[in-house]
Amino acid sequence: MKQMYPKNGRVILHVDMNSFYASVEMAFDPSLKGKPLAIAGNPEERRGIIVTCSYEARSFGIKTTMPLWEAKKLCPQLIVRKPNFERYRAASIGMFEILNEYSSLVEPVSIDEGYVDITESYEHGSPLEIAETIQKQIMQQLDLPCSIGVAPNKFLAKTASDMKKPMGITVLRKRDVPTILWPLDVEAMHGVGKKTGEKLRSLEIQTIGNLAKANELQLKTKLGINGLRLKERANGIDRRPVDPDAAAEFKSIGNSTTLPRDYSNQHDLLRVLEKLAGTVSVRLKRKKVLASSLSITIRYKDRKTITRSKKLPNPIQNGEEISTEASQLFLKHWNGDAIRLLGITGTDLVEQHEAVKQLDLFSFEKEAKKEPLYKTMEKLREKYGSQIIERAGEMTEIKKQQENIGTETSFNKDFLRDFTIDLKPDKDKDLE
């Protein structure tokens, strides 16, 4: 079987669950199968938009992010379920456990998709046989459909998995790129969104083939280093390895909320920011990082959106400090118009143990009083390990607010953080 694998290259699968949330609900309640089903937020609130929907619902023209009222116009018999994130998390862990049976090189991209490097997995069969076996196993064990792309790199594997849905398996080789990918519109390429597509078309780049042959200097001038990266992808080149630890990497932590109605009262808006700051604080503490910069997002009732940020004198993690900084930033940039969405994001994250506080005259005395406690804690950590002490206040706050963190975005990020912990093998068992 080894001869069916490349001597020098890689064989990578991209496993993409089909209509994941809706499929999980159907597996949980088989009476929903074959019916138009949508997963959406609270229908009474403005945030009632379609998170995902079944293929039966899509046949009526229903799409992700469509307002629920519009979806019901298209399909009056639409069945609506609120998201059940614990249910989806359990199903996702089950899916990734199956992938780990075939390779130790599994990289989750989100709750419902991931890459698997099967280059050294020839004992399980040919690449196509492994893809078929994984697809059948996920269906048999979890009652969930998936599509799988088989390719020599991550970009082509991702592209291939999108070609046949649901329950498709597609092999895409580098030699297939000129005939299969190049004739497509440039926006059809993974990694090219609407704005990037507009910039490429301004350079007379209409197709993926045009991008593959484009002038590198023009691309770099228009899109920076990303332009050169996109040209490589258009030629089927992607050197990124499948990295099981990539899920633990994060660059920012934030939270936003769409308000149930347009708010213009300053007191109400500051209270919303205070709640958002508390949630962001919890996430920072759970990940044991501090934010060196803070940004706020304001979306007005006319949907005009602005983002404003500031570099902080000291890294922060405490909810009160985040609320104070965010409120100051908000009051500086709010024009007084009614608002439909607010968000706070901490960026330039630093590890908790690496954060160095630049103490000023006002904070020095307060911090100095805590120094004996800090020294005692440090001695205990040195003797028993860094996890021996957790501040009780942090743990209480985390436990208190965990149940309130329910948006799909935060759920996906938190899931990725926890993924490696949940599936990490027992090292002692491996040695027995």
Does residue 133 belong to any structural domain of this protein?
yes
Does residue 382 belong to any structural domain of this protein?
no
9-21: pLDDT as tens digits: 999 999 999 999 9
12: domain CATH number is: 3.30.70.270
256: domain CATH number is: 3.30.1490.100
- Band the pLDDT of 183: cuts 50, 70, 90: very high
Same domain, 52 and 108: yes
Does residue 432 belong to any structural domain of this protein?
no
Average pLDDT score over residue span 359-365? 45
Contact between 277 and 401 (Cβ < 8 Å)? no
Does residue 352 belong to any structural domain of this protein?
yes
Range of the domain at 209: 182-234
Which pTM was predicted?
A: 0.65
30-61: pLDDT as tens digits: 999 999 999 987 655 545 789 899 999 999 99
Q: What is the pLDDT of residue 360?
A: 46
Give me the sign of the Cα torsion angle 13, 16, 17, 21: positive
Contact between 120 and 10 (Cβ < 8 Å)? no
Contact between 149 and 13 (Cβ < 8 Å)? yes
Average pLDDT score over residue span 153-168? 97
Average pLDDT score over residue span 318-347? 94
Residues 6+ apart with CB under 8 A from 242: 12, 105, 106, 107, 115, 116, 117, 154
Q: Which residues are known catalytic residues?
A: 113
Strand partners, 186: none
Same domain, 327 and 187: no
89-141: pLDDT as tens digits: 899 999 999 999 999 999 998 889 999 999 999 999 999 999 999 999 999 99
- Which segments are annotated as binding site for Mg(2+)? 16, 112
229: domain CATH number is: 1.10.150.20
Same domain, 230 and 255: no
Q: Most confidently modeled of 164-178, 233-247, 405-419?
A: 164-178
- Residue 350 predicted with pLDDT over 90: no
Same domain, 188 and 301: no
Query: Which of 145, 171, 197 lies at the terminal end of a domain, its last residue?
Result: 171
Q: What is the pLDDT of residue 245?
A: 77
Which is more confident, 12 or 395? Answer: 12
Q: Where are the alpha helices (DSSP H) in 59-117?
A: 68-74, 85-100
**Residue 428 main-chain phi, psi, to 5 deg:** -65, -40
Q: What is the pLDDT of residue 380?
A: 61
Same domain, 411 and 262: yes
Lowest mean pLDDT among 13-27, 171-185, 277-291: 277-291
The count of domains in the chain is: 3
